[in-house]
Structure 1
Amino acid sequence: MLITEISPTGGSLAAELLALQRAAYAVEAELIQDDRIPPLHESLEELVAAPLRWLAAMDDGRLAGALAWEEDSDEVDIDRLVVHPSAHRRGIGRALVKELVSRAGGRRVVVSTGRDNAPARTLYERLGFTLTGETEVIPGLWITSYALTA
C-alpha cells in the first residue's frame, strides 16, 4: 500500500475519489441509520471545489482509501476518512490517520464521526484520540468529536 498526497482537481482521479466517498459513506449511513451525511450527496464539482488537502491510499494501483483535512498553525481537522468497502479491516484507515498525525508536527488533531459509527469510533480511540463531545448537528443526526493532542 502506498500513501501519497493527491490533488483531485478534476478528471478520472476526482471521479474515482467521488465514487469511493459515496461507497464509504453509504456504509456509514447504514451503520448510523441516517443518510443525511453531507459528503454522501456531494457532487463532483463540490468535491473538487472543497478547500481540502488529500491523502490517498493506493493498493495495486487502485484508490483504496482517502483522507481529507484542513489545517491552521494550531490544529489539523480531519474532514473525512473514506475506505472502499471491499478494503475494510485491512488497516487502510489506520495508516491514513497515522500518516496525517505524523504530518501534524505536534499540532492538535481533531475529527468527528457519526455517534453510532462503532468502527470509526474504535479506530480513533485505539489511535489515542480522546472523546471531546457529542453534538446533534441536525435533528436526529448526532456526531461524536475526538481530539489527539501531542
Structure 2
Amino acid sequence: MAASFSVPSMIMEEEGRFEAEVAEVQTWWNSERFKLTRRPYTARDVVVLRGHLKQGYASNEMAKKLWRTLKSHQANCTASRTFGALDPVQVTMMAKHLDTIYVSGWQCSSTHTSTNEPGPDLADYPYDTVPNKVEHLFFAQQYHDR
C-alpha cells in the first residue's frame, strides 16, 4: 500500500519551515552581536537562496565561541591572554591553558608560505597563507579532541 500524502499539505509544511527559518535568521540578526550591522537585504532574501539541507561549519561554531569568550571578558573586566602558535604541538599545549590563540600574519609569512620565501609582514604573501595555517592548527586540535 502506497503512503498517502497531500501535495497542498506538503507545500504548506515546506512554507512553514521556510517562514520559521526566516524568523530564526531575523532573530539572530536582531541579537546584540549584530545590533550595529546594517544590511541592504532581508532575512527572507538570504533564506530563499539556501538549500534545503542545513549545513553546519566548524568556523561558525568557533566564531560563536569566540564571541561568547570576548563578551564574558568584557562583562568581567578581564582580558584574554594569548600567544602566537606556529605548529600543532604549540597549539595543542596552549589550548589547555588559554581561551584564545593568536595566529600572526608575520609568523605565517616567515614560516608557512606557499612560496617558501620568508620576509617582513608587508602582506605580500599569498592571500590564503593565514587561513591555511589556521586550518592546519584547527585540524590538529580536532585530532587531539578524539
Same fold per superposition (TM over 0.5): no
- Answer 1 or 2: higher relative contact order, Cα 8 Å, separation at least 6: 1
- TM-score, normalization by structure 1: 0.30
Higher-Rg structure is 2
- Structure with more strand by fraction: 1
